[in-house]
Amino acid sequence: MRRWRTPLKSGDRMKTRIIAEIGINHNGCVETAKKLIDVAVIAGCDYVKLQKRSPDLCVPDHQKDKRKLTPWGEMSYLEYKRKIEFNYDQYNEIFDYCHDKKIHCFASVWDKDSVDFMYKFADIAKIPSALITDLDLCRYARERNARLMVSTGMSTEEEIKRCVEACSPDVIFHTNSTYPSPVSELNLSYLHWLQRKYNKATIGYSGHEYGLVPTFAAVVMGAKYIERHITLDRTMWGSDQMASVEPAGLIKMVKAIRDIEASIGEGGPRKLLDSEKTKRESLRK
């Protein structure tokens, strides 16, 4: 059953779209995922995003048998990855929950099987930074989805160019793939480079830094999609928790983005506003 269809074409005039990335911060628990969805809804986000992998395909052979300490005990890395993946029934429950809460849901897809799996639920997908050099996957996700997003972290300019040529993504995210990212390495000016070079795509910003100020700057610089990882508590177990935004921070972030949008205006020439007239009369002779 299809749950959502893409709400806007990439060229449409639109407000900044805010994606709350749950990713794998649910630690394989549907109830935790629902709590994170609730946070995104309360904050006023437009989307929640998960990550979908087929562990047997995605985990490199040399890592499959490595031992890993987890909250569920010591196990192989492959067993851990299997444990935190949701199955069809769990995704069905999550998408039903998002439908009831009136928030869009989709996923980053890490392999072709995951593309097919997620297509049962939504016609939008994202290729993560780790996989934009897998051009076969990029093309396949493009063929299957009405809207495709890609992230550009840990990539060279040539790798990004080949990805864009291969799959014509609707949204291209600038990101730094360090978790968390040092603010001195964010290079937000690259947003302008992407806007000039790929002017047929919508440009977004996916942040992994501590704090929110660079995210606000990205909005001012023209990013039309903002993506941040979210968590219930940064001290929770998991590799992405520390680079995520907690509930109070997410609420603050969304409100600030909407305030930024409202304050930017249309530019000059200067107009005398009705709200200024009373003060003008009292202060000017």
**Tell me, what's the pLDDT at 266?**
86
Domain 17-283 listed as CATH 3.40.630.10: no
Which residue ranges make up each domain of the chain? Answer: 17-283
More confident site: 1 or 101: 101
pTM summary value: 0.93
Q: List, for residues 33-73, the tens digit of each pLDDT value.
A: 999 999 999 999 999 999 999 999 999 999 999 999 999 99
User: Could you tell me which residues are beta bridge partners of residue 104?
Assistant: 47
Q: Which of 162, 211, 153, 160 is nearest to 187 (CA)?
A: 153
Q: Percent of the chain beyond pLDDT 70?
A: 95
Q: Cβ distance 14 to 42 under 8 Å?
A: no
Q: Residue 23 has which token pair? A: 């990713």
CA atoms of 90 and 93, how far apart (whole Å): 5
Amino acid residing at 195: Q
